[in-house]
């Protein structure tokens, strides 16, 4: 009887060990799939099939952190809202006890578009969300990475380069804010645009 119990215990430990090892390997593979290292830089890949959105952003050196935000719009329906903020600036903001404006950031807002409005139609129909009334450049209709889109720049607390794209009954409002045209965050935003893609 004792031998039988010992065998059962050993088998249990063995199976548990295999499960733990398998879980570790799986998680490592998942992490590898989401992180890319190239030329001394580390990039994180964001993939969301439900939103039909894919992009990657630099996490090191002097990289960014992706922060989900609450959705605030009921009409049109807001599906997701997230911002990319420089890590060091985000940590400084968290450490301070004095409330203030957040640093310049790269933002993604995704909305439902069941009426299948074109980007230009959506911009004009939703001026509060698109901030088109603050545009200091003409609205340019130009395809973005294979989907219909418009581009323009607005002025406010920060300057904002805006790309508004439509695909599969969704609107993607992508904005890069900056203090001046030579700022690092703007250069990072312009570089990042090539890594954004949408589901077919």
Pull the structure tokens for residue 110. Answer: 């995704």
User: Which pLDDT belongs to residue 97?
Assistant: 74
User: What is the rounded end-to-end Cα distance, in angstroms, of the chain?
Assistant: 62
Same-domain check for residues 25 and 44:
no
Domain count, the chain: 2
User: Which pLDDT belongs to residue 28?
Assistant: 35
What residues are paired with 38 via a beta bridge? Answer: 41
Same-domain check for residues 52 and 130:
yes
Same-domain check for residues 104 and 120:
yes
How big, in percent rounded to 5, are the helix, strand and coil portions of the chain?
35, 35, 30
Whole-number Cα distances in Å, 117 to 1, 74, 124, 126, 169: 74, 17, 10, 11, 8
Same-domain check for residues 77 and 141:
yes
Same-domain check for residues 75 and 29:
no
User: Which residues are CB-neighbours of 176 under 8 A, at least 6 positions away?
Assistant: 104, 106, 107, 160, 161, 185, 186, 189, 190
Same-domain check for residues 86 and 11:
no
- pLDDT tens for the chain, 200 residues long, are 545 444 444 444 443 444 333 433 333 333 334 888 988 899 999 999 999 999 999 999 999 999 999 887 778 899 999 999 999 998 888 888 776 778 999 999 999 999 999 999 999 999 999 999 999 999 999 999 999 999 999 999 899 999 999 999 999 999 999 999 999 999 999 999 999 999 98
**Domain span holding position 33:** 1-38
Same-domain check for residues 31 and 55:
no
For residue 195, which phi and psi values (nearest 5 degrees)?
A: -100, 5
Same-domain check for residues 124 and 171:
yes
Same-domain check for residues 166 and 82:
yes
Query: What sections of the chain are H helices per DSSP?
Result: 2-34, 87-95, 119-125, 127-130, 184-192
What residues are paired with 65 via a beta bridge? Answer: 85
Same-domain check for residues 87 and 148:
yes
Same-domain check for residues 194 and 164:
yes
Whole-number Cα distances in Å, 42 to 59, 95, 104: 6, 25, 21
Same-domain check for residues 58 and 156:
yes
The enclosing domain of 135 has a CATH number of 3.40.1000.10
Evaluate whether 127 touches 162 at the Cβ level (below 8 Å): no
């Amino acid at each position: 009887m004792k031998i039988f119990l010992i065998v059962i215990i050993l088998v249990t430990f063995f199976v548990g060990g295999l499960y733990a090892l398998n879980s570790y390997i799986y998680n490592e593979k998942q992490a590898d799939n989401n992180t890319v290292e190239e030329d001394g830089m580390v990039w994180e890949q964001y993939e969301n099939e439900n939103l039909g959105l894919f992009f990657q952003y630099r996490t090191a050196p002097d990289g960014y952190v992706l922060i989900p935000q609450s959705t605030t719009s009921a009409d049109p329906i807001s599906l997701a809202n997230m911002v990319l903020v420089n890590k060091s600036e985000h940590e400084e903001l968290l450490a301070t006890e004095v409330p203030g404006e957040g640093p310049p950031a790269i933002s993604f807002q995704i909305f439902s578009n069941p009426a299948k409005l074109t980007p230009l139609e959506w911009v004009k129909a939703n001026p509060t969300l698109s901030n088109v009334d603050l545009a200091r450049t003409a609205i340019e209709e130009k395809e973005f990475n294979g989907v219909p889109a418009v581009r323009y720049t607005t002025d406010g607390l920060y300057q904002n380069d805006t790309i508004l794209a439509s695909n599969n009954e969704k609107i993607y409002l992508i904005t890069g804010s900056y203090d001046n045209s030579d700022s690092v965050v703007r250069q990072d935003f312009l570089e990042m645009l090539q890594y954004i893609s949408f589901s077919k």
